[in-house]
């Protein structure tokens, strides 16, 4: 028996935690609480680092048992091998499917959070330019070909 069940079980736990953290992150974006957002980013990084370590450990185990090619390990090779096995590995199949489902859900939440963050950044940039008296219409090209805003004499800071 290949000892990958504990790895998949821990991956499943991490993905549940990550899903929760992504929900917290979305709420923090809504409240614009930068301290909470930074703390959440640290938690996410810790979980992702642990997942990477587990993935490396699983890969080494599967190489050791000859399921993965040492030069080019692939998930498809493992899935193919798992599909050829008898029902004694049904628990591994189930755990793997649950992990894949949770991972897809986490990716969707993460992409949603990224879009929210992008929108917040654009809004903040626009507000900052407004405070400086810059307008997206008042830009000129520099010698290097990039654009540079022209400062207005009527900024909110000078009013």
Alpha-carbon distance 9 to 126, whole Å? Answer: 46
Cα-Cα-Cα-Cα dihedral of 87, 93, 94, 100, to 10°? -170
**Model pTM score:** 0.76
Residue 37's contacts (CB-CB under 8 Å, 6 or more residues apart) are 25, 28, 29
Whether 124 contacts 140, CB under 8 Å: no
Q: What is the pLDDT of residues 3-54, one digit of tens each?
A: 889 999 999 999 999 999 999 999 999 898 889 999 999 999 999 999 999 9
**Domain extents in the chain:** 5-149
The model's pLDDT over 41-87, given as tens digits with 9 standing for 90+, comes to 999 999 999 999 999 999 898 888 888 878 888 888 888 888 888 88
CA dihedral angle for residue 3, residue 7, residue 12, residue 13, rounded to 10 degrees? 120
119: its two tokens: 């929108």
Residues facing residue 139 across a β-bridge: 149
CATH number of 5-149: 1.20.58.300
């Amino acid at each position: 028996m290949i000892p990958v069940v504990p790895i998949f079980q821990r991956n499943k736990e991490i993905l549940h935690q990550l899903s929760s953290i992504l929900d917290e992150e979305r709420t923090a974006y809504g409240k614009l609480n930068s301290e909470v957002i930074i703390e959440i980013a640290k938690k996410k990084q810790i979980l992702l680092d642990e997942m990477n370590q587990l993935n490396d450990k699983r890969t080494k185990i599967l190489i050791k048992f000859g399921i993965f090619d040492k030069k080019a390990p692939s998930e498809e090779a493992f899935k193919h091998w798992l599909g050829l096995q008898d029902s004694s590995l049904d628990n591994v199949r189930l755990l793997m499917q649950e992990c894949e489902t949770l991972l897809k859900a986490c990716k969707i939440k993460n992409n949603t959070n990224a879009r929210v963050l992008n929108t917040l950044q654009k809004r903040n940039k626009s507000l900052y330019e407004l405070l400086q008296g810059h307008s997206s219409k008042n830009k000129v090209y520099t010698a290097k070909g990039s654009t540079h805003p022209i400062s207005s004499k009527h900024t909110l800071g000078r009013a």
